[in-house]
Amino acid sequence: MNSITTEYSQHMHPSQDSPVGVTSPVVWLREGWNDFVASPTTSLLIGGVFTVLCLAAYASISINPILSATTLAMLLLASPFIAATAYSVARQQQQSSTASLRQAVYEMRMRALDIGLFAVLSALIVGAWVRLSSIAFAIYYGNLEINTASELARAWTAGFENPTMLIFLFISGAVLGLTLFAIGALALPMIAEKNSDIITAMGNSIVRLTEHSPTTFIWISFILGSVSLALLSGLALMPVIFPILAYASWHSYKHLSGK
C-alpha cells in the first residue's frame, strides 16, 4: 500500500523533482487540476466561499462606490484564510492522496495569527493604493459627484480622450499587483505549511521569485488570464478557478522552494 501511495505521489506531483523552467506554470496548473478532481466537493466548497465574498464585494461597490476601499479590505482580509485552507488540502493530497477539510480548517486556525498579519498588511497596501487613487481622481476631476458604480465607470472611461488618469491607474495598479504577488506568492504557502513568521516568509518569497523571474512573469500571466476568465463568466467559473489556482500556487511554492 505504501508503494502504491508513493508511486501515486510521484506521478501526480513530479514538479518538485524537476528544474524550474518557463513551462513550470503549466505543470502547476495541471497539478492543481488533479487536486481539484481528487477532492471536488471540498474544492467547490472552498471556491464557493470565495465566490460569495466576491459577489458581496461587487454588490457593495455597485450600491455605493465609496465603500470600495472598505469592501476590498474585507475581501483581502478573508482571502488568505481561504487560500491557506486550500494549501492544506493540496498538501494533504501530496502526502497521502486524500484530504480532510476539517484538518485543513484546523491547520489554518493554528496559523491564524501569522496569516492574519499577512492579510492585514495586504489590506493596508491596497487601502493605501485606493486612497492614493481617490486623491488623484479628485484632483483630476475636481468636484465631480459619483454616486453609483456606473457613474464611476463612465468617469474613468471618459479619460480615453485624455488618458492621463487611465495611465496612472494602470501603472499604479500594476505596481500594486506585483508587490502583493512578490510578498505573498510563496510567503502565504510557507506560513500555512510551517507557521513561519511573516518577515522570513515574505523575504523568501521575494528572493525565490526574483531568482526565477521569467517563470514568475509567465505564472502571473496565467493567473491574470484565469481570473479574467472567471470575471468574464460573471463569476460562474470562480468556484472552479479559485481552488485550482490555490492548489497550483501551493505546487509553485514547493517547486520554487526546491521541495
From residue 106, give the alpha-carbon distance in Å to each of 110, 143, 256. 6, 50, 26
Interval 205-251: pLDDT, tens: 999 999 999 999 999 999 999 999 999 999 999 999 999 999 999 99
Better pLDDT: 15 or 78? 78
Distance CA 192, CA 108 (A): 7
239 neighbors 47 (Cβ within 8 angstroms): yes
Mean pLDDT of 129-153: 64
Q: In a 3-state reduction of DSSP, which class is residue 145?
A: coil
pLDDT above 50 (res 21): yes
What local confidence, expressed as pLDDT, does residue 241 receive?
96
From residue 16, give the alpha-carbon distance in Å to each of 59, 96, 124, 210, 254. 41, 16, 34, 18, 6
| Residue 117 in grid coordinates | 498579519
The residues near 174 (Cβ < 8 Å, ≥ 6 apart) are none
pLDDT above 90 (res 179): no
Distance CA 164, CA 158 (A): 11
Sign of the CA dihedral with 135 first, then 136, 138, and 142 last: positive
Distance CA 30, CA 88 (A): 18
From residue 178, give the alpha-carbon distance in Å to each of 2, 93, 135, 240. 42, 30, 22, 24
Q: How confident is the model at residue 161 (pLDDT cuts 50, 70, 90)?
A: low
* Alpha helical stretches, state H, 160-197: 164-184, 187-194
What local confidence, expressed as pLDDT, does residue 46 receive?
96
Distance CA 217, CA 12 (A): 24
What local confidence, expressed as pLDDT, does residue 142 receive?
60
Mean pLDDT of 103-124: 88
What local confidence, expressed as pLDDT, does residue 232 receive?
94
Interval 54-98: pLDDT, tens: 888 888 777 766 666 667 777 878 899 999 999 999 999 888 877
Q: How confident is the model at residue 197 (pLDDT cuts 50, 70, 90)?
A: confident
Element (H, E) at 17: none
| Residue 3 in grid coordinates | 508503494
